[in-house]
Structure 1
Amino acid sequence: MKRVLAVLAAVAVLATALTAAMVWQLTRDHEPALPEISAYSRGESTRVGPYQFCDVIDPTDCMPAGQQGELEVDERDPVQLSVPSAIAEAPWRLLQVYEDPANTTESLFRPETRLAVTIPTVDPQRGRLTGIAVQLVTLVQDEAGEVFEIPHAEWSIRMVWR
């Protein structure tokens, strides 16, 4: 009986050690995943990571540029934009770009107020929507003492018209 208990104890210790080693191997050298936004229209969706992602304290310290997402759209179906709580917990800005970039609109959302936005693909005054961008902004001060916002993170989706 003592021999059986000793063998079971040895198996339990070995299984625990192997599990710990496997967890360590799977989690080492892994950076936390960056947030992704998603957009949906016409029964299709796209998820995209940041196009630009910089350090909040040093906005010149940026990761290499990411990819711009694409979403196929038409004039009937709006775009449903969703942002994760990792973005929505901070003030975030939505840019809507139209055929004439001078018609770009900007909306600022306060922390923890919005996880989703519905965006029409055609605006009567601005024309067709050509892209959207979600930005996290940082306040910076220049040498003259002026304070202004710059984006330290941006997610971008281009609209592809059918």
Structure 2
Amino acid sequence: MRRSRLVAVLAAGSLAVAGCSAPGPAEVTFYGDGHTIRVGPIGNCDLSTGVCSANPGAAGTLKVRPGRSVQVSVPKEIAEGPWKVTVQSIDGKGQPQPLKEDIITSGDQYAYTATPPSKDDQIVVVEIAQATVISRTGDPNDAEPITSALWSLQVQPA
């Protein structure tokens, strides 16, 4: 499965723990098959300071039956900027299906429903990536989105 730029940033640089005085990172809520879980980011970077932290143990886990969707709810600080949803599914024989990626840029979308390609397919991973748009030269035409935080849900068959 393809990883976002955040993984590369976290792997390439030294990791530091964010200061205690700042508020905690945003949580994303996942709902599937009658169960809800709120998770913090598995990786988070402050692009202004270059300080990143990793917390792979923050990944959430839900049991969801094949063919069932997973709903995602993000807080205001994520919804107001660009964010991406990546969904990995497997078919009824356990074969990976193509990744589904949707980029949300409306600035006011707080929810997303991840739906498996068919009734026999099983969603196995849903990831939310928060983007921060930066320009290395100061020219807005040179701006590019950089992943600044990543949330992950691992789905277990119910």
What TM-score, normalized to structure 2? 0.69
- AA aligned opposite 1:153: A
Structure showing greater relative contact order (alpha-carbon pairs closer than 8 Å, 6 or more residues apart): 2
Which residue of structure 1 aligns with residue 146 of structure 2? 150
Q: How many residues align?
A: 130
Pick one of 60, 71, 82 that aligns with 2:73. 82
1:100-119 maps to which residues of 2 (within 5 A)? Answer: 103-119=98-114
Greater helix percent: which structure?
Answer: 1
Distance 1:126 1:95, change over 3 A: farther
Q: Residues of 2 paired with 1:117 and 1:68: CA distance?
A: 18
Determine if contact 2:66/2:119 at 8 Å carries over to the other structure: no
Distance 1:106 1:90, change over 3 A: same
Residue 15 (structure 2) pairs with residue 32 (structure 1): no
Unaligned 5+ residue runs, structure 2?
1-19, 137-141
Larger radius of gyration: 1
Partner of 2:77, secondary structure, is helix
What TM-score, normalized to structure 1? 0.68
Determine if contact 2:74/2:110 at 8 Å carries over to the other structure: yes
Which residue of structure 1 aligns with residue 117 of structure 2? 123
Superposed CA RMSD in Å reads: 2.8
Q: Residues of 1 paired with 2:23 and 2:96: CA distance?
A: 35
